[in-house]
Amino acid sequence: MKTIKLAFAVAGLAVATFATAVEKPKMNVIPINSEQAIVSVTNENPAIFEVSIKAKNGDLVYYKQTSEPVTDFKQIYDFKDLENGKYDLNLNVNGTKVVNEFEVSGSGIKVGESKVRFAPYFDFKNNELKLSYLNFDQENLKLYFYNQNGLVYESKLGRDFNITTGYNLSKLESGSYRVVLSSYNNEFTYDLVK
């Protein structure tokens, strides 16, 4: 019983540490007219901002990265050359992602609400791999371990909102491994050397 309580306490502490250590960027998308919008981004700490626009089929339409760490970014975007349809405006700041869906149509630009998503937290020490991830979209998640020869192990993690788990890797051979947390829409990688 004490072991179970300790596991829950450690998992809770890991999630609390993870939640306070991440960036908290804010992104506002404000239509100016039927073809243009102002995108304004702020962050508490200076960071490199990556802004991209993707069509719903996954095609990258636009990408820009700031050349140096900044706390704010503002730009007017012209969407007149985009085909009618739905798009995602993505902001990535140190593993924290803000996604804002918008739609381009003959009647103008319609902007949806922003969604904040955090990258998973991986930690590898003493032959233990710990993973924490807030699965906001409750996607069906899988974890894969690869070495230079291919797939070594896979695990189904499910659709829970709060994913906290650990793996004892003491029986794995020494070497380099790539760990992939994957869903239908997302993929995160973590490299480790054992």
| Whole-number Å distance between alpha carbons of 81 and 142 | 38
Q: Which domains does the chain have, with CATH numbers?
A: 2-18+120-193 (2.60.40.3080), 26-118 (2.60.40.3080)
Q: What is the largest CA-CA distance in the chain?
A: 63
Res. 122: pLDDT tops 90: yes
Q: Are 41 and 99 in contact (CB under 8 A)?
A: no
Q: What is the pLDDT of residues 124-178, one digit of tens each?
A: 999 999 999 999 889 999 999 999 999 999 999 999 999 999 999 999 999 999 9
Q: What is the pLDDT of residues 9-47, one digit of tens each?
A: 344 434 444 444 556 788 888 889 888 899 998 999 999
pLDDT at 23: 66
What is the mean predicted confidence (pLDDT) over 52-62? 90
Q: In this structure, what are the phi and psi dihedrals at residue 46, rounded to the nearest 5 degrees?
A: -60, 135
| Whole-number Å distance between alpha carbons of 163 and 33 | 42
pLDDT at 101: 92
What is the torsional sign of CA 164, 170, 171, 175? positive
In whole angstroms, what separates CA 121 from the centre of its chain? 11
Q: Scanning the structure block, which residue is given the tokens 């939640």?
A: 19
Q: What is the pLDDT of residues 69-118, one digit of tens each?
A: 999 989 998 988 899 999 999 999 988 889 999 999 888 889 988 888 88
